[in-house]
Amino acid sequence: MRNTLLFTLFIAAAAVGCKDKKKDGEGGTPVAGEGGGGGGAPATPPAKMVELDASSAGEAYAGWKLQAPEGATAKEDFGALLVSDGKGFQLEVHEGADLAARKKEIEANDVNKLKGFVTDKPDVLLYKSDPGIGGVQHHFLATVKVGGADYSCENAKGATNYTQAQCEAMIAACQSIKK
């Protein structure tokens, strides 16, 4: 009898600790292992978008302006422009824009496996992937012309779990870059 009571209490405690998870991490607040894989910190939604002068990132970005969350900063980071609000908006801008080659890399990646493209256009790829440790990650690649040169944008990699909406905000910011 005592063993049965202990077993019942154990099962009840386990059931109380379980949460109803959505399959792909969309909607609501992602929980560990959901939305970004690996249990990284869930990203917060971007704040109000305002014009940001990226000149503070260095001479290469003099005169660049883009829409970014209020309070975001621009800095040079290993040869790329990094625009970040320190939360759910972390946009990287790199020279060059070969989206077709990058798409092949994404499709062939056998570690962070492609789950599907949400948007598949010649200038924007928004996709979901599975890093193999549970959960789904959202990523994007986009291209933009700035001052006659081609650039590519992507979300910064790391511990942040981006939602589809956050990636869409970063895509809009990328496409807003002007010189």
Per residue in 58-75, pLDDT (tens digit) is 999 999 999 999 999 999
Structural domain contains residue 37: no
Q: Which two tokens stand for residue 46?
A: 């971007």
Determine, yes or no, domain membership for 128.
yes
Which tops the pLDDT comparison, 78 or 134? 78
d(CA 143, CA 153): 6
Residue 26 belongs to some domain of the structure: no
Residue 151 within a domain: yes
d(CA 130, CA 139): 11
Structurally, the chain folds into a number of domains equal to 1
Q: Residue 87 pLDDT > 90, yes or no?
A: no
Of residues 11 and 133, more confidence is placed in: 133
User: Strand pairing partners for 144?
Assistant: 151
Length of the chain, in residues: 179
Does residue 117 fall inside a structural domain?
yes
139 lies in which domain range? 49-175
What is the pLDDT, as a whole number, of residue 158? 82
CATH of the domain at 90: 3.40.1000
- Strand 80-84, strand 90-95: pairing: antiparallel
Reference 43, options 76, 7, 82, 91; nearest CA is 91
118 and 127 in contact (C-beta within 8 Å)?
Answer: yes
With respect to residue 35, please indicate whether it lies within any of the assigned structural domains.
no
Mean per-residue pLDDT, 107-133: 94
For the chain, where are the alpha helices, taking DSSP H only?
2-17, 99-108, 164-175
d(CA 51, CA 67): 5
